[in-house]
Amino acid sequence: MEVVIGPGPELGRLAANAIEHLVRAQPDAVLGLATGSSPLAVYDELARRHAEEGLTFARVRAFMLDEYVGLAADHPERYRNVIEREIASRVDFAPSAVRGPDGLADDLVLACAAYEEAIAEVGGVDLQLLGIGTDGHIAFNEPGSSLASRTRIKTLTRQTREDNARFFGGDVDQVPQHCLTQGLATIMAARHVVLLATGRGKAEAVHQLVEGPVSAMWPATILQHHPHVTVLVDDAAASRLQ
Ligand code: F6R
């Protein structure tokens, strides 16, 4: 695990560098996209490079990490819409090149299985962007998640719903209770994982991720077993590292 400590805007550029390097070498690469605040600087930088430097995503395929269950198709916080707004509409992905778990499916279990199959069909994810929750979740694999888990339905913890209430007008009751999320084994199958974390609120989770014992109670710690992980953190998020 490689840990890089630097200022926030620089972290976004470093993650964008990794993506650009991959996409220029392998134009049909498969990206894993995260939502939330952490990847926003990366998406801004990729959009800039697309507009100003000709970086193209025309043949890239992308898979989202997770999705809320039951949010209306046009809800602005539905992750499919967030990804569209923050990155897909700002670069040149082909139509339907970006896929996510279907949180509105009639059969959610079937939708999870179909999602795993879709990732496998394209040969897996080359580079997975990740954030980390204050409780150590990655995607929506909350504490206690099986380290061998695959895409499935999960219940969000109160902590995560409170953390995400800022996207729902500060009202935790508006945050859905359930989600579909890639599992920890799904994420571990990506060939390169790039995790971003900023702010003091992430310090304990980053400490556990890098220095804690591998435990389902801090799900991100499974990444210690991954052969190629880059952790990009600012000073505040690194403040509990030894
Ligand atoms: C989002 C996701 C979550 C977030 C995490 C951190 O797709 O899977 O694991 O990465 O909750 O969120 P932010 O970046 O908003 O602090």
How remote is the CA of residue 132 from the centroid of ligand 1, in Å? 6
CA nearest ligand 1 atom 10, residue:
131
| Domain span holding position 189 | 2-225
pTM assigned to the model: 0.97
Question: Ligand 1 in contact with 137 (CB < 6 A)?
Answer: yes
Q: Tell me: the pLDDT tens digits for 22-69?
A: 999 999 999 999 999 999 999 999 999 999 999 999 999 999 999 999
pLDDT band at 216 (very low <50, low <70, confident <90, very high): very high
Evaluate whether residue 55 is within a structural domain. Answer: yes
Question: Ligand 1 in contact with 157 (CB < 6 A)?
Answer: no
CA nearest ligand 1 atom 12, residue:
36
Q: Check residue 75 and give its pLDDT.
A: 97
Q: Tell me: the pLDDT tens digits for 75-127?
A: 999 999 999 999 999 999 999 999 999 999 999 999 999 999 999 999 999 99
pLDDT band at 70 (very low <50, low <70, confident <90, very high): very high
Evaluate whether residue 126 is within a structural domain. Answer: yes
Q: For 26-134, where are the alpha helices, taking DSSP H only?
A: 40-53, 79-86, 108-121
pLDDT band at 128 (very low <50, low <70, confident <90, very high): very high
Evaluate whether residue 233 is within a structural domain. Answer: no
Q: Which residue(s) pair with 138 in the sheet? A: 141
Strands 178-181 and 152-155: antiparallel
| Ligand 1 atom nearest to CA at 137 | 9
- Substitution candidate for ligand 1 out of 11, 38, 157, 167 with most atoms within 8 A of CB: 38
Evaluate whether residue 88 is within a structural domain. Answer: yes
Q: Check residue 137 and give its pLDDT.
A: 96
Q: Check residue 93 and give its pLDDT.
A: 98
Evaluate whether residue 132 is within a structural domain. Answer: yes
Q: Please give the positions annotated as active site.
A: 66, 135, 137, 142
CA nearest ligand 1 atom 3, residue:
139
Nearest to 16 by CA among 35, 56, 36, 43: 43
Q: CATH number for the domain including 34?
A: 3.40.50.1360
How remote is the CA of residue 86 from the centroid of ligand 1, in Å? 14
Q: Check residue 27 and give its pLDDT.
A: 98
Evaluate whether residue 238 is within a structural domain. Answer: no
Count of structural domains within the chain: 1
Q: Tell me: the pLDDT tens digits for 170-209?
A: 999 999 999 999 999 999 999 999 999 999 999 999 999 9
Evaluate whether residue 90 is within a structural domain. Answer: yes
For residues 193 and 187, the answer to whether their CB atoms sit within 8 Å is: yes
Q: For the chain, where are the alpha helices, taking DSSP H only?
A: 8-25, 40-53, 79-86, 108-121, 158-164, 184-188, 203-211
Evaluate whether residue 15 is within a structural domain. Answer: yes
Question: Ligand 1 in contact with 140 (CB < 6 A)?
Answer: yes
